[in-house]
Amino acid sequence: MSINHIKRRYQKDLTKLPKIFRNRVVKQNNMFTLPTFENKLPILPKEEYKTMTQTGYTEGDLVYITKGEHKGTISTIFRYSKEYDGLFLSDIIEKKIIPKDQWFDQQDSFLVDYPKLIPADSVKLAAKDKNDKGEDYYIVAEEVVFKGKYYDDRYKKWLPRRFVKHHEHIEVPWPNPPTEPKAGELSTEGETVFEKTWEFQSLSVPPFPSTIVNELRNPYSKHKARVLTELQARRLNKPTMPLSKEQQIYLAKKQQSETEQPTELTEEVQDFIGERIANHLNSITNPHLKAHLDALSKNTINH
Amino acid sequence: MRRFSTTTIAQARKLRFESLKDIKLRAPILPTHKNFDVSPDHPLWQFFPNGNESLAYRPASELDATSRSWTMSELRHKSFDDLHKLWYVNLKERNILAKEMWLLKSIEQVNMGQYDELDAKLVLNQKRIKQVLLERQTSYERVKTLDTEVKEYLEDFEQQYLNANEQELLEMNDKLVRLQYAIFGIQPTLSDIQEVNEDLVNGIGYVGRLKSQRYVTENPDCGLELPLKGIVEELPFLFKQPSEAVEEVLALREQQTPMLPKPEIFEYLTNVLEDLKASEIEQDQ
Amino acid sequence: MAPMLRSAKKMRKHLIEQLKSRKVEGARIAKGFKTQEDLISLNLAPQVFLFKNLFSGQVAYSQVPALHQDQIDEQFTRPNWENRKPSRRDDLWRIMCVANFNNYEYAIAAYQGLVDLRRVRDVVQKKEANEMRYKNDEGNIWYSGQYRPIYSQEAVADLNHIIEEFELENTELLWENLWRKGDDKYWSDLVQHDSLPPFNPKYQSAFLDEIREKALAEFQNARDSEITETM
């Protein structure tokens, strides 16, 4: 990237500092500036910049000031400052004192008219219309709603239509842009731009020579999900230690013992067990114990 | 021509300063660039906005503030060559701006806003060009994974081709030429084929099979036994009429030419295509 | 710091001995003023060499294609913060112009004249000289670091001065860069300008020696042809 982009990394980004530090830095910056040149409004971070359709108004629109010194005035927007979310109106001017070494040519007074920066909160969209008698009257919209889309040839863009909220039959059309877009030195003519020189025609024709893919795409990008091939995975993971003889024997035995499932008793064994129990029971003389055992034998086990 | 003289110099000639106090010192002679020519085509002039005739830098008011960057939709219409050229045009403009910004920094000019803005627009242009090209590349790469879909389509087309009647056959042949290019990248004019790759081989195989099958179903007495063996038998069907191609294949079979092993296919194809191109050039002449 | 090897210590001792044995003050051939006989016996051509200092922009004159400390001592008297005595470092003195004269008398006169004019600018007419120099905002000679471009411009003016003053016809000035010559209006018929052939500054001394030889050969040829003419 260019040097200016790199230099920005070392500059203090006011929008990212916490409020306390920000105020301090602003104070330090304003130490040697005259009070008339101090900026009272805070700077917005880039993510919070508002576009035409987010603010609801643009250059050339009428606005009504709802707060502050100039409350009640209707004026045209001269410029919208997206960094400060403020407006410069064509009628709201303040006088600033300028020291002599900063005078421009043909200046003869210390006081100079400067447009005043008005915060966007204290401003509402206004519109002018003619009533039945032909007299001008103004409408101020509390809020603005966007509906529908149309192609505006003046702006060369697709724009939504503006309506006053809760009174959606009232449309406030977009104003004429202040300057007609002129072709600059670096502009390309419309005809050349719309000339179609590429058409997708074949699945097997690459869009550009395959040798330059790595110039457009970083093959070592750390932001991509890195997938290892099997070989790479094997190389990067430690190998398993082969089992020693003792371990093998142990494991084989364990496996064997696991596979040894309990077998059913054979008839011989059953008879043997039965005989022994019968002999024991028959040898019991105590009548109470016998009665207890009888009662027990009638119990059933509920599985 | 220089002539040296060693004749004695007249005594009146003064060769020493007499009184240092009375010497009238001369003002320093400033060097000038007019003493040597710099070609107006010198490549370093490309760092200046007007080349030979430009000043050291353009004031901020002279910069182009009204133009906007190219949009993605506008760039998507353009071929790779156009985008490549546009990239370098942008780069050269950015170089000029970077030189001006560096110069202004050294003379401690603080208001670089306009230059930064214009540079940002140019950077956006370059980013968008890169994005368009990579979009095309990723879609090209993804298509490679759609094997089944392409296969289905080719099978459908095969059915249609084989079952088409005489009237439809002309249409189908035109369609086949377009399909060749669309799916296998085989150019309609064979002398335009630049690269010999797997797609080309597959395409030749497909076309050969298709045409030979149709011919055999129409003329069962031709004597051709399908399937065709290898690229050598499939290739004639690409640029010849089916009847001629069949004759050639039969001739090849009589000669009992062995099937070409895979590693030699590409070489064979490049040679054949070169011969084709050479013969076309001769024909033109 | 790794301990020094024995061999390194010995080398260092040897170097210090060498340095103490003889003080290096530059090319010994450049020491002292050369008369016509000296120049001829040393195989030198009727030339004056102008060297510019890359660090400070000051110019030193020499009859010989090299510099010696004595020449610097002679030419840079009355040093001050704006006109410091430059170092004799060989790598900082780059050839600016080689002046080939008609004969040895002219060459010696030119050298003497240049040295005299240097004295005038530094000592005798210090104020007048300073007035003619380009100043910066603070009223001091314009500088960038320690570099002052005005000195080389003054040297060119002085060269012009002596050629005009002494009417040294048939001089040839070989410039390292013709840009330094300045506008043609300052120069008269007496001088022919040319540029030095491109050279590698690493081998400047060898290159200047070649220039000397070439000029000497030309001088001899011209003298011989003159002699045959007169005869």
- Give the residue, C229 or C158, on which the prediction is more confident: C158
C77, pLDDT greater than 80: yes
Q: What pLDDT was estimated at residue B258?
A: 82
Residue A120 to residues A57, A67, A93: CA-CA distances in angstroms?
10, 10, 16
ipTM of the complex in this document: 0.87
Residues near C42 by Cβ (< 8 Å), separated by ≥ 6? C29, C34, C64
Q: Do B182 and A184 make contact, defined as CB atoms within 8 angstroms? A: no
B166, pLDDT greater than 90: no
Each residue's pLDDT tens digit, C140-162: 999 999 999 999 999 999 999 99
Token pair for residue B239?
């640029």
d(CA B138, CA A207): 10
Q: How confident is the model at residue B107 (pLDDT cuts 50, 70, 90)?
A: confident
Q: What pLDDT was estimated at residue B1?
A: 46
Per-window interface: B 11-30 vs C, CB < 8 A: 13-17, 20-21, 23, 25-30
Instruction: Write down the residue that tokens 């089944």 correspond to.
Output: B148
Bond into B43 cis (ω within 30): no
Chains C and B in direct contact, meaning 3 or more beta-carbon pairs closer than 8 angstroms: yes
Please, what are the domains in chain A?
1-32 (no CATH), 33-171 (2.30.30)
> DSSP class of residue A278?
H
**Residue A156, amino acid:** K
Each residue's pLDDT tens digit, B177-217: 999 999 999 988 877 887 888 999 999 999 999 999 999 99
Q: Residue ranges of the domains in chain B?
A: 37-143, 147-284
User: Which chains have 3 or more CB–CB distances shorter than 8 Å to chain C?
Assistant: B
Q: Of B44-58, B110-124, B209-223, C148-162, which has the strongest mean pLDDT?
A: C148-162
Q: What is the pTM of this model?
A: 0.70
Instruction: Write down the residue that tokens 């001394």 correspond to.
Output: C205
Residues near A139 by Cβ (< 8 Å), separated by ≥ 6? A126, A127, A128, A129, A164, A170, A172
Q: Residue ranges of the domains in chain C?
A: 25-230
Q: How confident is the model at residue C51 (pLDDT cuts 50, 70, 90)?
A: very high
Q: Do C124 and B3 make contact, defined as CB atoms within 8 angstroms? A: no
Q: Do A182 and B130 make contact, defined as CB atoms within 8 angstroms? A: no
Chains B and A in direct contact, meaning 3 or more beta-carbon pairs closer than 8 angstroms: yes
* Nearest chain B alpha carbon to A185: B64
Q: What pLDDT was estimated at residue B63?
A: 94
Return the residue in B50, B61, B64 with the most chain A beta carbons within 10 A, the one to mutate for interface testing: B64
Q: Give the mean pLDDT of C61-81.
A: 95
Q: What pLDDT was estimated at residue B205?
A: 94
- Give the residue, A107 or C11, on which the prediction is more confident: C11
Q: Do A203 and B185 make contact, defined as CB atoms within 8 angstroms? A: yes
Q: Do A197 and B70 make contact, defined as CB atoms within 8 angstroms? A: no
- Give the residue, C42 or B108, on which the prediction is more confident: C42
Percent with pLDDT over 70 in chain B: 95
Q: What pLDDT was estimated at residue C69?
A: 95
- Give the residue, A4 or B275, on which the prediction is more confident: B275
d(CA C208, CA C90): 14
C99, pLDDT greater than 50: yes
Asked whether C159 and C181 are in contact (CB, 8 A), the reply is no
C183, pLDDT greater than 60: yes
Per-residue pLDDT of chain A (303 residues; tens, 9 = 90+): 666 677 778 887 888 888 888 888 888 888 888 777 777 788 888 889 999 999 999 999 999 999 999 999 999 999 999 989 999 999 999 888 888 887 888 888 999 898 999 999 999 999 999 888 989 999 999 999 999 999 998 888 899 999 999 999 999 999 998 877 788 899 999 899 999 999 999 999 999 999 999 999 998 898 988 888 999 999 999 998 999 999 999 999 999 888 877 788 999 999 999 999 999 999 999 999 999 998 998 888 876
Least confident of A23-32, A151-160, B118-127, C28-37: A23-32
B81, pLDDT greater than 70: yes
Q: How confident is the model at residue B5 (pLDDT cuts 50, 70, 90)?
A: low
d(CA C185, CA C164): 13
B6, pLDDT greater than 70: no
Each residue's pLDDT tens digit, B232-248: 889 989 888 999 999 99
